[in-house]
Chain A
Amino acid sequence: MMDASTSHFSVCVAEFARQLGKGEMCALAKLYDFTASRLLRYAETLTRNREDAEDALQAAMVRITLRPKALAGADHPWPYFLKVVRNEALKILRKKRAACSLATVAPIGVTESCQLDQQEANAQIRAAIRELPPAQGEVVVLKIWEGMTFLEIAEVLGESPNTAASRYRYALEKLTHILQPMANEVTYA
């Protein structure tokens, strides 16, 4: 699901990172404006909480500002940036709950599906993604919404591509189960 816009996005992030690496501080605002909403969305998948996601985003921005050359020198700056956000989000989770891991974060309760318009359907899907264990939810976000390959996802997660792929497979199985009624409506409408 990697399309031209995703590729363009990565190229732009790399360009801002390069400018930041050269000490051009104005690139920081550009980088923030360009990536903040996606980073926030990804962080929220991990933290399940908007405030924590915002804190993670802020901390990641500070980290990137302090080590701009690490981002500029990364083979894939966008996955690297996501990884920084992930680390900060996990740090916040760890602070909040001692010995907390992604696997132990409780999923949010299932909501009842009903007659939905498109907006509600989308909200339902996003809620279904939040119902997943965060370790699986983040793979779905990275794979489908960020259009990353399993190799890039593995780089972000610090796991093997096979692990990322299997988490994705499990996640889709669960999502299929949760969203089955809605999927039937869409398929056969």
Chain B
Amino acid sequence: MRDKQFSNIEQMIFAARDYPEPSAALRRQALAKSVRAYHERAQRRRVWVAAALLFGVIWTAGSAQRLLAQPARAFVDRQQTQLEDNADWVAESAGSHGDEWGTVERSFQSRFKQSRILRAALGTPSAPGS
């Protein structure tokens, strides 16, 4: 009985279904709004794509510049290192030679002094190299 009643109610409800007719204004408005939203989104998308492309181009150009600049910079760095190495070597050489010369000179002067003392002691009038 309950099921039968439910079935009857269901049939009554089904028979009472309506199809409210949307107004022409609503149709016009809904479609216009939708199409406008579609175009606005397409426009926004184009702007984003353009911005992304621009960023990509700038980034690529920057990368390329860095890549191109890298060998030149490396060459300069190598040259500078080489110069610095050379300068150090020259300085070291000069220092070491200077010491040697200094030692030689000191030794020479010391011997020269000794020879003068000897010459004075021996009474020899001749000067060295004469």
Contact = CB atoms under 8 A, between A and B. Distances in A.
B27 A36 contact: yes
Contact of A66 (B10, B29, B30, B37): B37
Contacts of B73: none
Contacts of B37: 62, 65-66
Interface residues of A, number: 38
Nearest to B10: A144
B13 to A, nearest CB: 5
Size band of the B side of the interface?
20 to 34
Contacts of A82: none
A131 to B, nearest CB: 13
B16 A125 contact: yes
Interface in A84-141: 121-123, 125-126, 129, 140
Interface string B7-38: 01110111111111110001101110111011
Q: Is the interface of A mostly helix, strand, loop or mixed?
A: helix
Given A121-B16, A122-B15, A186-B12, A37 B26 contact: no
B27 A175 contact: no
B20 A37 contact: yes
Contact of A144 (B13, B21, B34): B13
Interface in A138-158: 140, 144-145
**Closest CB pairs A-B (n = 10):** A125-B16, A122-B16, A65-B34, A37-B19, A145-B17, A58-B30, A36-B22, A61-B30, A62-B37, A61-B34
Given A36-B26, A41-B20, A144-B13, 5 more contacts: A28-B34, A36-B27, A66-B38, A122-B16, A176-B6
18 contacts: A1-B14, A32-B31, A36-B22, A40-B22, A41-B18, A61-B33, A62-B33, A65-B37, A66-B37, A66-B41, A121-B16, A125-B13, A125-B16, A126-B16, A144-B10, A144-B14, A145-B14, A183-B9
